[in-house]
Structure 1
């Protein structure tokens, strides 16, 4: 029987590389695509040379052409951390708009089913808690974070337009904070920032008073939810995340306990439009997909910390310092 073929954009990124692993293990022929703006070749080196994996170096904001048939597309190409999208705001908007448009055109031409990676950031600084899929959000369109939030909101809109107007099979996953091996240190997100500081013996920096909340989902659970959603028959957005909510201050104290270090907590001003609450309502995912997270936060964090401790000094430096100079003006 011929293998199903799937295109995964952002394949060298955190989630993209884990998705490549999962679909290869399920027997798919995987085409990974990335231009390494935020991705790292190291994340997919173990796949190069496999008979059912092919890598294409390409920027999805440019026209995309693939030979042969195609069954599925997973669109995970996008900067996803505040440090990244604040340094390359235009590229972030382009990958959400032009990149998604190009891939939907490819899906139409190939008659492929397409899943897009949306985000809890479409809810902005929410006035509804926990966040359900029918909540429209509270987003500042012209604030610093708007380049990412609006890119994802537009991405959802054009995907549903192609679904309704062209009859394309589409799926939308709204991803809440996810963590695990292959994250980049100090990319502006809570977990890599805290772990990076712990590894260097620095005090942990909390923005605001630490009362804001986040809900962290281990990568294996996230990938399982995405996998099930792709193969479902549901076309509207679905939250995939862990509803176990914790304040940033309490989480920082958990990190100190986990790492066995003696750091203090230091406080800085809260960034503009930083959301005060993040907790997914996963009622729909439970009902529709039979999915809910299984990995406890302390267990997942221990695995993640051990991953970062295993990196060489060169790998740690590379993880912390990403060069965006060639993309700044694009």
Structure 2
């Protein structure tokens, strides 16, 4: 039986990998809705229909009833969200309301990509930045739509995703890719003080395995998808063996986050890649 699957943010880092995996199943018709804020047409993959626009306009842009919506298309940077608060509201708050109304209208399941920042620093991280707050309150709204309107949902949480198609340069670059570019260019690795903040870096392949598994079999909240191994940012930089340059502390920079992967593991998921192996691979290929 054929399935119509919509991925918001399908031209982004995680979304493009999810589209690629879903489209590899000949029984799926896969669609992407992306505003290309951080997504790129370079991330387009075969057998996916691409639609450009805001999630806030989903009801105007999507003229079919999907069987499943993977809602990944939101603003997703912590420190930058202080300067981008209008974009954060438009993409995260206006967007989630429109998407939830859309899935309620069509009676389909939604998988919402929440943010592990809400578990940071013993729960204090949920209000530490505009990004963290919008994501934390969005998970509550998804849960409420489930209770109020019987919308079937699952909520996942990623932990510091790395791998191919990461944003490598500019304001929205992610850490692992940024360090790779700096090593390739002979530049120092910049670390936001104090450097002891810990992260659970998780390979994109493991994230996609979890997303598909939870999308098909998971219902409810707290489906964390994260490596159990935590490293400080300074420890990660030391794995690259490059020059380190410390930067001043910044707002919203959490120190720790608990990985809550028990429900995902109960479905049969487990991580298969480690950040240490990945950095060794990058070194072997001369940071390419």
Question: How far did 1:306 drift?
Answer: 8.2
1:290 and 2:273 are equivalent in the alignment: no
Note closer, same or farther for the CA distance 1:228–1:268 as it changes in structure 2 (3 Å cut): same
Question: How far did 1:303 drift?
Answer: 5.5
Q: TM-score, normalised by structure 1?
A: 0.80
Q: Is the 8 A contact 2:167 2:174 kept in 1?
A: no
Question: How far did 1:86 drift?
Answer: 4.1
Deviations along 1:258-304, whole A, 9 cap, x unmatched? xxxxx3212122212311123413223222x1111011223333556
Q: Is the 8 A contact 1:11 1:33 kept in 2?
A: yes
Structure 1: gaps of 5 or more residues: 128-136, 257-262, 311-330
Counterpart in 2 of 1:176? 159
**Equivalences for 1:238-317 in 2 at 5 Å?**
238-256=223-241, 263-287=242-266, 289-302=267-280, 310=288
Counterpart in 1 of 2:14? 15
Deviations along 1:5-63, whole A, 9 cap, x unmatched? 0110011100000010011012310011111111111001x32xx3xx21111111235
Note closer, same or farther for the CA distance 1:305–1:235 as it changes in structure 2 (3 Å cut): farther
Question: How far did 1:221 drift?
Answer: 0.2
Note closer, same or farther for the CA distance 1:83–1:208 as it changes in structure 2 (3 Å cut): closer
Note closer, same or farther for the CA distance 1:245–1:107 as it changes in structure 2 (3 Å cut): same
Note closer, same or farther for the CA distance 1:83–1:207 as it changes in structure 2 (3 Å cut): closer
Note closer, same or farther for the CA distance 1:166–1:190 as it changes in structure 2 (3 Å cut): same
1:37 and 2:22 are equivalent in the alignment: no
CA distance in 2, matches of 1:308, 1:122: 36
Q: Is the 8 A contact 1:97 1:151 kept in 2?
A: yes
Q: Is the 8 A contact 1:172 1:237 kept in 2?
A: yes
1:106 and 2:102 are equivalent in the alignment: yes
Note closer, same or farther for the CA distance 1:188–1:82 as it changes in structure 2 (3 Å cut): farther
CA distance in 1, matches of 2:260, 2:79: 27
Task: Report the secondary structure of 1:80's partner residue.
Answer: coil
Counterpart in 1 of 2:124? 138
CA distance in 2, matches of 1:69, 1:251: 44
1:57 and 2:44 are equivalent in the alignment: no
Note closer, same or farther for the CA distance 1:57–1:298 as it changes in structure 2 (3 Å cut): same
Task: Report the secondary structure of 1:182's partner residue.
Answer: coil
Q: Say how many residue pairs are matched.
A: 284
CA distance in 2, matches of 1:305, 1:69: 46
Structure 2: gaps of 5 or more residues: none
Deviations along 1:198-241, whole A, 9 cap, x unmatched? 12211111221322211100000001011111111421221111
Deviations along 1:141-200, whole A, 9 cap, x unmatched? 3xxx52101110121011111100100101100111110000001435321232222122
Q: Is the 8 A contact 1:82 1:188 kept in 2?
A: no
